[in-house]
Amino acid sequence: MNLAFEPATPADAQTLIDIQIRAFHEDAKIYPNVEIGGPPHYDSVEVMLNDIEKHHCHKIVLDGTIIGGLIIMNRGEGHYHLHIIHIHPNYHNRGIGSQAMTFMEATYPATLWSLDTPAYATRNHHFYHKLGYIKIGEVTEPDGFLLFSYKKHV
């Protein structure tokens, strides 16, 4: 298994969106009462292109095939925010998410990491706790979507 984390390019945008859609739609299969969907603009190639241009975007590549991505935002003063991590459902539970988080934390000179994840996503909560993230609060989006906020001091 040859796993790599490479800068995303505009040519990768559609592939990343296709995987992101699959990853978010998988939640509707896993969690009761969760409708198919995702965060605002999770299915927008234009937003992905903007993220690639303005933020730190990486594609997760396994044996030459893109299987996921990371979008990282620099909030300044050593604070980085994991905006999105997504992995194709066919590759879940293989340690790839943990390797992606290790890559992220080793690559960026953060003293503080933050992220948000859906309140219903209990497997995400376990994953982030396992990696040393602490829940610091809850945020309700304008559309009523509830997120749990996490942080990790490095």
Alpha-carbon span 135 to 56, nearest angstrom: 24
Of all helices (H) and strands (E), which one includes residue 60? Answer: strand 56-62
- Quick one: pLDDT at residue 144? 82
**Mean pLDDT, the chain, integer:** 96
Read off the pLDDT of residues 74-112 as tens digits, 9 standing for 90 and up: 999 999 999 999 999 999 999 999 999 999 999 999 999
Cα–Cα distance measured from residue 139 to residue 118, given in angstroms and rounded to the nearest whole number: 10
Cα Rg for the chain, rounded, in angstroms?
15
Res. 1: pLDDT tops 90: no
Helix (H, G, I), strand (E, B) or coil at 36: coil
Q: What is the pLDDT of residue 38?
A: 84
Does residue 39 surpass a pLDDT of 90? no
Residue 52: the pLDDT is 98
What are the chain's domains? 3-153 (3.40.630.30)
Average pLDDT over residues 130-142: 95
What's the pLDDT tens digit per position in 44-80? Answer: 999 999 999 999 999 999 999 999 999 999 999 999 9
